[in-house]
Structure 1
Amino acid sequence: MIIWLVVIVFFLIYFIGVGYYFTQQVLFMKTNSLEFIYQRELENFRFDENLYRSFQKESFSVQSRYGYELKGYLFEAFDTNNWVIITHGVSVNKNNSIKYAELFLKLGFNVLTYDHRRHGESGGTTTSYGYYEKYDLQTIVHYLKDLKGDIVLGIHGESMGACTMLQYAGFVEDSAAFYISDCAFSTFEKQLTYRLKMDYKLPKWAILPVSSIWLKLRNGFFIKDISPLLATNNIKKPVLFIHSKRDDYIPYTNTIHLYEANQGEKELFIAENGAHAMSLNENKEEYYSIVSSFLNNIEIEHNSL
């Protein structure tokens, strides 16, 4: 009986300790301020500040279905119905999207950038890697379409933003004319397994089953519920998949698997240079060329500045 009590106590300590600690790291990953990201991007010459300031931007706020505010900017530089929504990665914010906004503004698109839940100026208390964010993206899409009417819409996502975009298009509504997925993971389970191995030298069986239960209890979803891989199989509109070969945070093979799973019109660009989310930064001319070519191939009219 004493042995069984010891086993039960040990299991409870393990279940509570591992589950709470791991989900705390996942749900409440540290985020960076708008000021920090702006200065980081500026100091690393990732956008042209004079050009950025020359484009008029208008702030907006729209309520998420979950009760908090989603805040962002509208860059309406042209008399065109071509728009692109840009979704950023985890821990950063809409200021990380300036370089992508610059790209599409140079291609003649108007641009919307916004902060995901719990990032930047938006509300929300947890990060869910696309599970809830995909519905926030739906809210943003509907807001823009209601505001601007009949538009040709593209969505560009980086890292978690790409995962959010793919799950929106595959699980919620495939409503854009095109999508650009930059350095997404294929499944949340695969990404967590990889990070456990790289960061802690731990096998997934020791952490993920318990943590998945805790995620469900604390935030309403299991690990398996976050799967861009399943989503991309449902996307019919054209998708450009991008990743850096040297990415050691989310290996580029994730994007290969996403590309192979997609059944619609698609293109693939594996950049030779750059770490995670650095494909544009380290391959700027080629990145611009690939995006422009992709738009030409799917017959989206655009005019480069």
Structure 2
Amino acid sequence: MRRRRRPLKIFVALIVVLAIVYAGISWFFSEKLIAAKFAPLGPVDVASYGLPQPELIEIPGDGVTLAGWYFANPRKAGCATVMLHGFSGSKQEILGPTPLFWNRGCDLLLYDARGHGESSPSLLTYGAHEKDDLGRAVDWLANRTSLPHSKIGLAGWSYGAATAIQAAADIPDLAFVLADSSYSSLGDIARAQGKQQFGSWTKIFVPGALLVAGIRGGFDARGVAPDDAIRDVKEPTLLIHSRQDEFTPVEQSEEIYANSDHSHTELVIPDWVAPHAFSYTKNNAGYTAILDGFLAKYAPDFGARA
């Protein structure tokens, strides 16, 4: 009898050890996902982008305070845009594309996402909580400008693009959504980045990492999915994604587009070479033409033409 029990004990011990190892590695990857520490970007001269000095504003959220810049446009064209930066970035990161909307006479709101820049430290949730932050930012901007949602657009890059799509599913009557280089889901980007940074073996730990991340961050990590949220977005949506993107594969925007309503959603893969979320930087004239054509078709009354 003792001889029979010994192999069973060894087997149980092995299972326990493997479970502990799996849990430990899953925690490690969850740390990479939601608890990353970012060095703040330094000061920047906004005048070099053709902008006036911004008003420094704060938007209270659920357990966080968002630090932002509000730019009041002297042209007063009756439009406004919330612009959202990418993972590990800050509001300084998206000053470059501001002419897309500033030249139309639109007011601008740029803010640091939770856990980024000068906003409150926080675990990241890839849109689960950030979409609610964005909803509060839209309400703040609507109150400040006295504009209806139909005169307010969302423009996001990478992490900000995914947040914009998920928020737009809950915010009615927006003017448009511009989502550049979005990931299709937290699971998809975790698998892509895990493979790129550590190897294909990491895919077996993604379910565990998502479970741990969700418990730590208080959200459903498996439900963070712009490719699912896009089904509920009723506003005109422009997806842009560089084919050369090595951080977030272009297939992820293609998945989002596949689930969208094609009557008001377009996917543009630029014909010039650009790294992740840098299509505007590499060809701002070409990028501007794409956006202008989209707005002329779907939101012709949004602001004044440059």
Distance of 2:48 and 2:212 partners within structure 1: 44
Residue 301 (structure 2) pairs with residue 300 (structure 1): yes
Matched with 2:167 is 168
Matched with 1:72 is 68
TM-score for both structures, normalised by structure 1: 0.90
Residue 226 (structure 2) pairs with residue 228 (structure 1): yes
Query: What SS does structure 1 have at the residue aligned with 2:96?
Result: helix
Query: What SS does structure 2 have at the residue aligned with 1:62?
Result: strand
Letter in 2 for 1:24: E
Query: What SS does structure 1 have at the residue aligned with 2:121?
Result: coil
Task: Write the mapping of 1:92-111 to structure 2, written as runs, cut at 5 A.
Answer: 92-111=89-108
Matched with 1:253 is 251
Residue 42 (structure 2) pairs with residue 35 (structure 1): yes
Deviations 1:175-194 (A, max 9, x none): 41101010001111111112
Residue 273 (structure 2) pairs with residue 273 (structure 1): yes
Deviates more, 1:4-13 or 1:194-203: 4-13
Change (3 A) 1:205 1:255: closer
Structure 1 unaligned spans of 5+? none
Query: What SS does structure 2 have at the residue aligned with 1:275?
Result: coil
Is 1:56–1:76's contact at 8 Å kept on the other side of the alignment? Answer: no
The Cα shift of 1:6 comes to 2.6
Query: What SS does structure 2 have at the residue aligned with 1:156?
Result: strand
Is 1:158–1:183's contact at 8 Å kept on the other side of the alignment? Answer: yes
Is 1:107–1:292's contact at 8 Å kept on the other side of the alignment? Answer: no
Change (3 A) 1:232 1:79: same
Distance of 2:145 and 2:206 partners within structure 1: 44
Matched with 2:288 is 288
Aligned length: 293
Distance of 2:276 and 2:49 partners within structure 1: 27
Distance of 1:195 and 1:156 partners within structure 2: 24
Distance of 1:166 and 1:248 partners within structure 2: 21
Query: What SS does structure 1 have at the residue aligned with 2:95?
Result: helix
Query: What SS does structure 1 have at the residue aligned with 2:144?
Result: helix
The Cα shift of 1:17 comes to 1.4
Residue 57 (structure 2) pairs with residue 60 (structure 1): yes
Structure 2 unaligned spans of 5+? 1-5
Is 1:156–1:162's contact at 8 Å kept on the other side of the alignment? Answer: yes
Distance of 1:229 and 1:50 partners within structure 2: 33
Deviates more, 1:2-11 or 1:248-257: 2-11
The Cα shift of 1:211 comes to 1.4
Is 1:159–1:185's contact at 8 Å kept on the other side of the alignment? Answer: yes
Q: What RMSD over aligned residues (CA atoms) do the two structures have, in Å?
A: 1.9
Residue 208 (structure 2) pairs with residue 210 (structure 1): yes
Q: Which structure's CA Rg is the greater one? A: 2
Distance of 1:51 and 1:300 partners within structure 2: 24
Identity %: 26
